[in-house]
Structure 1
């Protein structure tokens, strides 16, 4: 019964149009990183990058080679859009995007993570079977249908993303709009809407509207009587995010996901008028059905489990950040810090106060001043550098942090030698002091 449902064929208009939009947005994201200066600030100017722990070997290419890297990646995105050598192109883009995601954390963003996941999905989806160069070259590839699971993997991923994003907002500083007020203060000079964004009633609309939107948008899009209205609200929501929060392509990618909710007939009439509409309900069960279902079952169990892991650590994730990444905890708090590093020679007792500007870019300094894993990584790097000069050193960090404008509190135990503690991704780090 499950096989018949998952492998029943449906019209593929939504997937075909999504491939075109997805490829275009990936192209714009890649070239945008070059022209906005993001690439230079994040991957070229730094002497090194703070990678995801375990991927220290994954560093940017030397000199200006990362420009060529991003140009090549943008070409693969264009190939995805037009459906040229689709499978090779989407695999190449996915690998290159994943590498840039893992090689730096200074610009960590849940949206970058989502793009990595969706591009990984696209490797398995038959998104090149219509309106593609591949079909023009090889007409035997042409198809106007796809298995039903192709839509559901995307819908289920979105449901996980939005549900966890909604649940994460149920904490005091969001509910009383403390964080929203702090966030909107930085937007007060915006043309026309700047003053409006400072109003308390607007903060409550944004706070509770965010909870409701994230929690309800997928069910409302799935339910046909509310689908049109939910999409209209989605347009307003994502355009607001695009204008006010300035988060690149992702509001538009989020709108493109609606293609998987609307009736194929509607999509075909608007975007693919020359495409025949698939009307059959044929079930084609492939030989690889079991490993495919097993693969996605394991994947979604991991996706459901990762955002829950912070419950197994001590203290509040908003403070410790243990279990924060890969958990759809998006724009939930403002964090300020006052941090200094000192290196002590174990043999001579000589103390050296580290000037972070000598080692790090401004963006890296912000991370190395407030994020515990980055603080640990920078301490390890200092130890390694001094050891190369024949010195056995200890590294001590005096770090005070303020969450959402609250008074500063000591974050890292100043008596802990950060150069000589082990990192454990599955265990609370006792050198992170309690929030209360």
Structure 2
């Protein structure tokens, strides 16, 4: 039964067309990061980046090296699109993207994490067996079919992302429209739609359409009778997000995924007119790597299902502490602002220095630092190391307050704890983060 489910051959038109879209979009992502100044603002101008804790060895290249780095990434994206040295190109782009993802988190976005996972997935998939330079140069690899586990892998990963995104929205500030209203206030100056977005009913429409779209989109796409309606809803949802929130390629990447839900005849009609035949034999071919593949998929999806749940096992509210927030599909859930003051005290003396954060950090880093305890801890460690280079053994104290979704400011950091002496705990609560006001 499992073999029939995983290894039955199906038409590969969806995968082939998706590879073309995927390659184009990841190339655009790399090139636009250069031309919009994102690379310069986030990887060149800052004195240092806030890497994921434990990945300090990943640092930006000196000078304008990161511009060349992204240009090379863009070229690899184009090679994925045309299917030239597909697996090598996909591996290189994925490795380079993962390195940048772990290198800085001031511009953290769950979509960046999704792209990292997709690069890993696409590396495994036979997406170059048709409509590729590889298949043109080596006709022996041409195929019009693929094993069904490929389709299952993609769809199940999407389902996990959307489902967790929906569940995460079920909290008071989302359900009563507080956060959508807070978010729309930042868009009031938008041309044409800014005033419209301020209507009270809009916040509730955004709140509940968001919950139900994320929860039902994949199931409705799977059912033939509702597929076209789900497709239309997806177009509206993702284009709205693209225009209002300006989140790069990801709305279009989400639309590209929908191709996996349409039959091969439809895909060939619109995108692969040169592919006159489609596969419908339904053969079951069990590969030699059967057991390894099943084990890999089981481990992959256990991790994907478990990671977003970890915050439930960490003390206090993830919306306040941020512990367990990343890698959890908690997308666009809250708005935070904060203030913090770092005080450095040399041990054995009464010498006290209050740090001017602006001398160290970019505007974006300052904004992220103000409400992210892990980044506050990292900055404290950096100050400790900087003073150690001067021969001074110091303690670092922080007074920090945070406002969530426009609410009152409340203390976030225990001002009596020396953060320079603390260790960061990845999977349990860090006690120097004060309880949320609701707790």
For residue 286 of structure 1, what is the aligned residue in structure 2? 287
Aligned mates of 1:93, 1:80 — CA distance in 2: 9
Alpha-carbon offset, residue 407 of structure 1: 0.9
Aligned mates of 1:313, 1:134 — CA distance in 2: 48
For residue 371 of structure 1, what is the aligned residue in structure 2? 372
Alpha-carbon offset, residue 270 of structure 1: 0.8
Residue by residue, what CA displacement relative to the aligned partner does 1:82-134 show, whole Å, maximum 9, x if unpaired? 00000100011100000000000000000000011111100010000000000
Aligned mates of 1:323, 1:189 — CA distance in 2: 34
For residue 311 of structure 1, what is the aligned residue in structure 2? 312
Residue by residue, what CA displacement relative to the aligned partner does 1:352-409 show, whole Å, maximum 9, x if unpaired? 1100111111111112221010000110010000001000000000000011111111
Pairing of 1:3-402 with structure 2 (within 5 A):
3-275=3-275, 276-402=277-403
The count of aligned residue pairs is 436
Aligned mates of 1:324, 1:233 — CA distance in 2: 28
Alpha-carbon offset, residue 347 of structure 1: 2.2
Q: What secondary structure does 2:345 align onto? A: strand
Aligned mates of 1:349, 1:295 — CA distance in 2: 57
Q: What secondary structure does 2:98 align onto? A: helix
Q: What secondary structure does 1:412 align onto? A: coil
For residue 432 of structure 1, what is the aligned residue in structure 2? 433
Q: What secondary structure does 1:406 align onto? A: coil
Residue by residue, what CA displacement relative to the aligned partner does 1:219-268 show, whole Å, maximum 9, x if unpaired? 00001100011001100000000000110000000000001111111101
TM-score (normalised: structure 2): 0.99
Aligned mates of 2:333, 2:323 — CA distance in 1: 15
Aligned mates of 1:194, 1:426 — CA distance in 2: 41
Residue by residue, what CA displacement relative to the aligned partner does 1:29-73 show, whole Å, maximum 9, x if unpaired? 000000001110111111111100110110111110011111111
Q: What secondary structure does 2:412 align onto? A: strand
Aligned mates of 2:150, 2:421 — CA distance in 1: 48
For residue 421 of structure 1, what is the aligned residue in structure 2? 422
Q: Which runs of 5 or more structure 2 residues have no equivalent in the other structure? A: none
The worse-fitting range, judged by mean Cα deviation, of 14-23 and 419-428 is 419-428
Aligned mates of 2:310, 2:250 — CA distance in 1: 26
Q: What secondary structure does 1:59 align onto? A: coil
Q: What secondary structure does 2:425 align onto? A: coil
Q: What secondary structure does 2:135 align onto? A: helix
Q: What secondary structure does 2:237 align onto? A: helix
Q: What secondary structure does 1:344 align onto? A: strand
Aligned mates of 1:43, 1:286 — CA distance in 2: 44
Q: What secondary structure does 1:134 align onto? A: helix
Aligned mates of 1:256, 1:392 — CA distance in 2: 54
Alpha-carbon offset, residue 296 of structure 1: 1.3
Aligned mates of 1:401, 1:180 — CA distance in 2: 19
Aligned mates of 2:187, 2:410 — CA distance in 1: 27
Aligned mates of 2:423, 2:187 — CA distance in 1: 41
Alpha-carbon offset, residue 298 of structure 1: 0.3
Q: What secondary structure does 2:208 align onto? A: helix
Aligned mates of 2:193, 2:365 — CA distance in 1: 31
**Aligned Cα root-mean-square deviation (Å):** 0.7
Alpha-carbon offset, residue 154 of structure 1: 0.8
